[in-house]
Amino acid sequence: MSVMEGASVERAVSPWGLRLRRFRRHRMGMASLVILAVLVLFCLAAIPLQMTGMDPDATDLFARFDPPGPGHLLGMDEAGRDVLLRLMVGGQISLLVGLLATLIGGAVGIVIGILAGYFGGRLDTALMRFTDGMIALPLLPLLIVLGALDLTKLGFSQDFARSGAAGFWRIVVIISIVDWTSIARLVRAATLQIRERDYVRAARAAGAGAAYVMGAHILPNIATPIIVAFTLTVGRVILFESVLSFLGFGIVPPTPSWGNMLNNAQELVTTAPLLAVYPGLLIFVTVIAVNFLGDGLQAAFDPRSEK
Amino acid sequence: MTAFILSRTWQAALVLLVMSFVIYSLIGLMPGDPLDIMIASNPGATPEVVARLRAIYGLDQPILYRYAHWLLAAMQGDLGFSRTHSQPVLVVLIPALWTTCKLMLLSFVVSVALSMVLGIWAALKPGGVVDGVVSLFAFAGISVPVFWLALMMILLFAVKLHLLPASGLSDVGNESFGDYARHLVMPVVTLALSSIGGFTRFVRASMIETLRMDHIRTARAKGNAEGRVVLIHGLRNAMIPVVTVIALSFGSLFSGALVTETMFAQPGMGKMIFDSILSNDFNLALSGLLFATIVTLFSNLLADLAYGWLDPRIKL
């Protein structure tokens, strides 16, 4: 890039343009974005396949553990189901759980953090003690108990409690219940910094209400660390989903997820080891890409980083 | 300092009390009922008999009453009876607690030692080749599903290479120290790898920050050897935040221990909690979860106190 070109771009660029440009220079971040795009396309490829009549849940007991061949590129699993198609559909579920639980838990974290940071005082103390208490809990055992709850005892109907939708939303909700604490702390710290800036005080002096100040002045100015934290949370949630589904307290078969495809993995390791490798490898690649993406975003958003 | 210790201890106790009620209520919402096995194994149980049984065991009382009853007994050391082990809960719990503590402490030592070496090495030349490789390793450690890592270890070292045993504490009839150690290798390595990534990144970041400070330049200018500058002048200052974060995450090792114990069939707390929830062993699940909470709360408390001790600016 010549000096002239650099100077002409520098002049007109917006903060977000600048961040985008910095991000594009982060090699691992860009590579992760490409990998994630490929993974999403891979998972969505199940939709046209299902329209041609392929069924991820259809079992064929004569085709158990069939090796890869035409029509079944990765072979068949222990119940004679197409492994490749189940990986695609399972990926949709795992990614969707990751995104939804992050959005819901993140929203909870933002609300708690911004209220604590903006109002301070007793509300701050109470909310942060609650957050500290939450952080100090053993998360996985707690998630397992929440995953094992009998929904009918909570007043849901028997039909709903047994449906696939209930299994899906249950895991989204329980992960959001436990995984909002890091975002709440981050939002509170960022809010504390912004709260006393001149433009926020000016807005308050001009008569702006708390809700307006928080929405119009504070949130937009703490957006970048929130985006980074959301990204990293997606990776963590996908790991939580996979281990819960693997242990049998998450997404329940026949609905596939990358985690529950490994349910029988301990026996598979001796009989059909590749079946135990694929789903875990996909989880691993997805989460590492998400984490590198977060790292790249953080570098791009950091005003101290050069150019 | 005394006030600080007291306030933190008081807070931890309060969290424990609240959590004991939350866990008690959650256990009550699990499928099944403490009496269902008794009723199922007795075909003559009429609704009247069932109702009388419920009254005898106090199951018809409101939850707050039952909780208070349980709490009073628990504080006197009576945690009830495990129905799958047919033994008092404490008899089952204490050996399991010991197994888990051993696993957690060993992995903790391994991962702290390794992450210090890797983190400092990477920080010597940020952006260099070593830094790149260490970063990749650290990201891999954060991103790998622990249960899958355990599976792959079993696949490689037990199934393919026949080097290490895949499960249990020791071979039947073999009581030697070497055999115990061999059975611990894979669980400890797996659990250590699950926490090493985060530690390494933190040591590296803290070290890079410290090495940029003025006093490091002064130390170099005085003619100190590079090794002395890094290890004495750098490391000591970089350690303050590192110690806190690492101590704080000791408690979170428990989640990893649950997975590791389940995968390698180690009879520890994690596996016990998992099994007790699967088999509706209510008393054991309740006490197991409570002890898990105590372990994490206690290690977080120690981390808080360590921070207050290391950094005299923290005062309450």
Least confident of A26-35, A77-86, A230-239, B170-179: B170-179
Whether pLDDT at A1 is above 50: no
What ipTM goes with this model?
A: 0.86
Strand B81-82, strand B87-88: pairing: antiparallel
- A262 vs A250: CA distance, rounded Å: 12
The pLDDT, as a whole number, for residue A153 is: 80
Contacts of B293 in chain A (CB under 8 A): 137-138
Confidence of residue A138 (pLDDT cuts 50, 70, 90): confident
Please give the share of chain A, as a percent, with pLDDT higher than 70. Answer: 93
Average pLDDT value for chain B: 85
- B212 vs A193: CA distance, rounded Å: 25
* Phi, psi at B82, each rounded to 5°: -85, 125
The pLDDT, as a whole number, for residue A245 is: 92
- B180 vs B164: CA distance, rounded Å: 11
**What average pLDDT score do residues B191-217 get?**
89
Give the domains, in start order, of chain B with CATH numbers: 2-88 (no CATH), 89-315 (1.10.3720.10)
**What average pLDDT score do residues A132-151 get?**
86
Contacts of A154 in chain B (CB under 8 A): 29
Nearest neighbour of A269 by CB, restricted to B32, B155, B297:
B155
Residue A157 token pair = 């109907």
Nearest neighbour of A292 by CB, restricted to B19, B139, B288:
B139
**pTM recorded for the entire structure:** 0.88
Residues in chain A: 307
Contacts of B15 in chain A (CB under 8 A): 132-133, 136
Q: State which H helix or E strand residue A295 sits in.
A: helix A273-301
Q: Which residue do the tokens 């594009």 mark?
A: A24
Render the burial of A21-55: b for 16+ CB within 10 Å, e for the rest. ebbeebebbeebbebbeebeeebeebeebeeeebe
Q: CA separation (Å) from B99 to B112, B151, B187, B268?
A: 20, 21, 11, 5
The pLDDT, as a whole number, for residue B314 is: 55
Other C-beta atoms closer than 10 Å to the C-beta of B148 total: 26
Residues B26, A149: C-beta atoms closer than 8 Å: yes
Q: Which residue do the tokens 């891979």 mark?
A: A42
- A221 vs A204: CA distance, rounded Å: 16
Give the domains, in start order, of chain A with CATH numbers: 16-44+82-305 (1.10.3720.10)
Among A45, A57, A51, A50, CA closest to A83:
A57
Query: Chains A, B: CB contacts under 8 A, how many?
Result: 132
Residues A266, B151: C-beta atoms closer than 8 Å: yes
